[in-house]
Amino acid sequence: NAGVTQTPKFQVLKTGQSMTLQCAQDMNHEYMSWYRQDPGMGLRLIHYSVGAGITDQGEVPNGYNVSRSTTEDFPLRLLSAAPSQTSVYFCASSYGQGYRPGELFFGEGSRLTVL
């Protein structure tokens, strides 16, 4: 049972480069989300999706894009990387609204460094 799979686990970028963090889940979850984790700041929500074709912004969406073409996949795109985007990124999924809300299943994280 794979759960939530994130790739890559580590990435180093130069300022201005773009890249995509991949996230896939095999639990048929309706809800998927991306968080970033920074020391002393906990996890902050970047974008989320309540189902295929539906996405919305979280607390810190600037500089990131998402799309949800399938139930399984929820990629996060960095358009033009900046040093402030150096962080650990977590993808999380959950059931739909009303069923065990707040019970998120997390991937193992993607550590991104922007030089």
Partner 1 sequence: AQSVTQLGSHVSVSEGALVLLRCNYSSSVPPYLFWYVQYPNQGLQLLLKYTTGATLVKGINGFEAEFKKSETSFHLTKPSAHMSDAAEYFCAVSDLREYGNKLVFGAGTILRVKS
User: Could you tell me which stretch among 18-26, 68-76, 78-86, 91-99 binds partner 1 (CB under 8 A)?
Assistant: 91-99
Answer yes or no whether residue 42 interacts with partner 1 by CB under 8 A. yes
Amino acid at position 99, single letter: Y
End-to-end, the C-alpha distance of the chain in Å comes to: 36
**Alpha-carbon distance 111 to 29, whole Å?**
24
Nearest to 96 by CA among 24, 27, 3, 30: 30
Q: Does 85 bind partner 1 (CB under 8 A)?
A: no
The residue within the footprint of partner 1, chosen from 23, 25, 31, 64 (CB under 8 A), is 31
The residues, ordered by sequence, that sit 6+ positions from 98 with a Cβ below 8 Å of its Cβ are none
Smallest separation, CB 49 to partner 1 (Å): 10
Q: What does the binding site for partner 1 look like in residue numbers (CB under 8 A)? A: 4, 31, 33, 35, 40-45, 48, 50, 58, 90, 92, 94, 97-98, 101-104, 106-109
